[in-house]
Chain A
Amino acid sequence: MMRGDATTLPVRGRWSVVGRPNALGAAVAPEPVSTSYRALRVFLRNPTGMSAFLLLLLVAVVSLAAPWIYQDDPLSMVARPFLWPGQDWDYPLGTDSLGRDVAAGLIWGGRISLLVGFTAMGLGVAVGIIVGALGGYFGGGIDNTLQRLTDIIQTMPSFVLLVVLVAIFEPSVQTVTAGIAVVTWPTVARLVRAEFRSLREKDFVMAAKALGFGHARIILLEILPNALPPIIVTASVLVASAILMESALSFLGLSDPNVVSWGSMIGSGRDALRTAWYLTAIPGVAIVLTVLALNLIGDALNDALNPRSTTTP
């Protein structure tokens, strides 16, 4: 192990070069670029991800602008029923069986779908992170208890559970959102727990403990940032599945009867499926495009946030 050191290793205190700035290292070192900027650049250069992002942005902007585009209640009857798209340019996407404007419904419905999708995702991810982080970090009894809780929810078919939850409580935007969050948090919790279980063994966690940091600090500031990439990817897909669940609930009539959503439009249009297929097809296309955009964004984020991805910045 000490080969060649016999003559080169100096006597203590006579190593004049030691400690001088490493000129070689300084010259080679490139400008500092943070990892998050790298991820952003990869994402911006991904054409699929970018077009999906722009599509979602368009949906979001149009939905948010609904009160300015259509001032009237989208549930009010404004024209003759079963106007086909293009038949009357005052109602570009036609009217449904009750004479309600499909275009207004589509735009107002997007608000509900996106609201429910993002809020349910936010709740589910928050609960999932808390449960998964505590279980994964502390292990032992806490982990066992939380895991059993997760198992209980995961053993039940999630959509059936959701239907039961919403049916027990009054169907409203709030209960639907909460119900979707209840059935989605276990997915996040399992993911976060797995990440924390491997990350808590890392040397930098031991180093943080050796600096006297407490558990909360280590969980939130040391481990969580390292676990974020897979959580972000999952979150984008969760928004999509929450939108689908909300639509499915509305289709079954388990939604707030006072608001219009894409699912409820499909649900009310299904009676006239053979004569006026556009009533189900139009909100259906909206759902497909939004969910597709979210999934593509998830894929692009996965590539961008994974340092081992083949895409070079």
Chain B
Amino acid sequence: MTSMTPLLEVQSLTIRFAHSEPVRDLSFRVYPRETVALVGESGSGKSLTALALMGLLPSSARSGAASLTLAGADLRALTPRAWRRVRGREVAMVFQEPMTSLNPVLTIGRQITESLRHHEGLSASAARARAIELLDLVRIANPQRRVDDYPHRLSGGMRQRVMIAIAVACRPKLLIADEPTTALDVTIQAQVLELLDKLRRDLSMGLLLITHDLGVVGQWADRVVVMYAGAKVEEAAAETLFTGALHPYTRGLIAASPRFHRAHTYQDGKLSEIPGSIASAVGEAGCAFAPRCTHVRTECRLAPPQPIAVEAGWSVACPVALDRTEETRRVAVASF
């Protein structure tokens, strides 16, 4: 997989506001037809990263990157006009809140056709026919009738399907889903993720799945990028991460989740937690996780650790974790 050219290449992305730097030196890649999960708790810079990839950062933000390439095109050099041709056509986004992301006064058909007519110049009738196809594609029952419905007549899950239909209308190469299931109840979550996965395969899109739900990650992602306080702490294939995560933060996150591989829930024992909060990362000169880390050493607080490759496609930004011998690692895996 690493031999392919990446669909999305992000190198050293930094986003700055006047008094803060919510994303620091973030690098990752999304390959064609691949699902990459961007994981982190609230405030770790996941959503800002997504907005940066859409060119929709608030005007008060300054961003810089060594490379920001989508399908060979440099996104950094785009003018506002060129961005408008990229958004919706090359890269599209599904938002977290399906209840508010649809325009309440326009029919869903109109909202799907708008983007088709804007980007592909379809006629009104052709766009309508395509809209009905798309509603069918996202498995909305009775699409011929539903196409003239207003959003308030749809349930949350159906609205999110409509959002997905709008996003994939112009067959984007990359679909960014920013916590697409957080606002939905659990039974609908699985359906929506299944749908996203199916569309990713059928339309050969890359999928960047932004989430804080490790259950979602384990089931649907090929690779996982774990962020903490704006920086990447670990990147690995999903299976690797769940069996042998190295970074203390990643391991803390996994330990804090109910274990879905075994029948283990909060009723069987107390879940562990990571002490402290992400707010402690503010003003930290070295590793942002140092204030909460149980393995912290003095050198951790001097300079931010750089990602170190463990093996192909697996890197971790924690020299301490790597220092620990193969044996301690085995112990760690066993205890998980």
| Residue contact A15 to B190, C-beta cutoff 8 Å | yes
**Is A160 among interface residues, defined by CB-CB distance under 8 A?**
no
| Residue contact B198 to A19, C-beta cutoff 8 Å | yes
**Is A6 among interface residues, defined by CB-CB distance under 8 A?**
yes
| Residue contact A6 to B105, C-beta cutoff 8 Å | no
| A6 / chain B contacts, CB cutoff of 8 Å | 258-260, 262-265
**Is A217 among interface residues, defined by CB-CB distance under 8 A?**
yes
| A32 / chain B contacts, CB cutoff of 8 Å | 145-146, 148-150, 153
**Is A152 among interface residues, defined by CB-CB distance under 8 A?**
no
Complex Cα distance, B190 from A19, in Å, reads 9
B62 to chain A, nearest CB (A): 17
Q: Which of B114, B213, B259, B262 has the most CB of A within 10 A?
A: B114
Complex Cα distance, B115 from A210, in Å, reads 10
A207 to chain B, nearest CB (A): 5
**Is A35 among interface residues, defined by CB-CB distance under 8 A?**
yes
**Cβ contacts A5-29/B at 8 Å (1 or 0 each):** 1110111100100111111011001
**Is B118 among interface residues, defined by CB-CB distance under 8 A?**
yes
**Is A168 among interface residues, defined by CB-CB distance under 8 A?**
no
Complex Cα distance, B290 from A160, in Å, reads 69
Complex Cα distance, B255 from A82, in Å, reads 98
A26 to chain B, nearest CB (A): 4
| Residue contact B105 to A213, C-beta cutoff 8 Å | no
| Residue contact B163 to A207, C-beta cutoff 8 Å | yes
| Residue contact A206 to B95, C-beta cutoff 8 Å | yes
| Residue contact B87 to A9, C-beta cutoff 8 Å | no
| Residue contact B105 to A226, C-beta cutoff 8 Å | yes
Complex Cα distance, B86 from A15, in Å, reads 34
* Closest B residue to A23 using CB positions: B141
| Residue contact B148 to A204, C-beta cutoff 8 Å | no
* Closest B residue to A36 using CB positions: B105
* Closest A residue to B157 using CB positions: A22
| Residue contact B118 to A3, C-beta cutoff 8 Å | no
A212 to chain B, nearest CB (A): 4
> Given A19-B195, A26-B141, are A212 and B100 neighbors across the interface (CB < 8 Å)?
no
Q: A1-B258, A25-B141 are in contact. List 8 more A-B contacts (CB 8 A).
A: A6-B259, A9-B215, A21-B140, A207-B101, A211-B92, A211-B114, A213-B84, A222-B103
A-side residues, CB < 8 A to B, are: 1-7, 9-12, 15, 18-23, 25-26, 29-30, 32, 34-35, 202-204, 206-214, 217, 221-222, 225-226, 228
In the assembled complex, 10 residue pairs joining A and B whose CB atoms fall closer than 8 Å, in A order, are: A12-B219, A32-B149, A35-B104, A203-B100, A207-B93, A207-B102, A210-B87, A210-B93, A212-B84, A213-B88
